[in-house]
């Protein structure tokens, strides 16, 4: 039997905010796409559309957690992803 305080401590670490998980997922997927797909073709477009659909789903599911600060962090994350795209394609 697990003591109650140990159970509560483990449970607190499992509550990562959905914004952080979404941002990390975006960076991982786009970085894999940038490095694995040489020409920007149909697979890149389909994978990016799937990522956008996943983002819409997560944002609608956790609507109450999206404050102004979270929206700014999300937008800055996408600016970083666009910067990664420019760096990997044109430099």
Long-range CB contacts for residues 19-27, cutoff 8 Å, separation at least 24: 19/65, 19/66, 19/70, 19/73, 19/74, 21/58, 22/55, 22/58, 22/59, 22/74, 23/73, 23/74, 23/77, 25/51, 25/54, 26/51, 26/55, 26/77, 26/78, 26/81, 27/77, 27/80, 27/81, 27/84
Is 66 within a domain? Answer: yes
Q: Which domain holds residue 31?
A: 16-90
Is 43 within a domain? Answer: yes
Is 5 within a domain? Answer: no
pTM, whole model, 2 decimals? 0.68
Is 23 within a domain? Answer: yes
pLDDT for residue 71? 86
pLDDT tens digits for range 10-60:
544 566 777 888 888 888 888 888 777 667 677 777 888 888 888 888 888
């Amino acid at each position: 039997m697990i003591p109650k305080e140990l159970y509560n401590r483990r449970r607190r670490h499992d509550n990562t905010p959905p914004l952080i998980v979404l941002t990390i997922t975006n960076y991982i997927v786009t970085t894999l796409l940038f490095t694995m797909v040489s020409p920007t073709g149909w697979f890149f477009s389909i994978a990016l559309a799937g990522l956008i659909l996943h983002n819409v789903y997560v944002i609608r599911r956790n609507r109450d957690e999206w404050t102004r600060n979270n929206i700014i962090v999300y937008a800055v994350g996408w600016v970083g992803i666009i910067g990664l795209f420019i760096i990997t394609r044109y430099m």
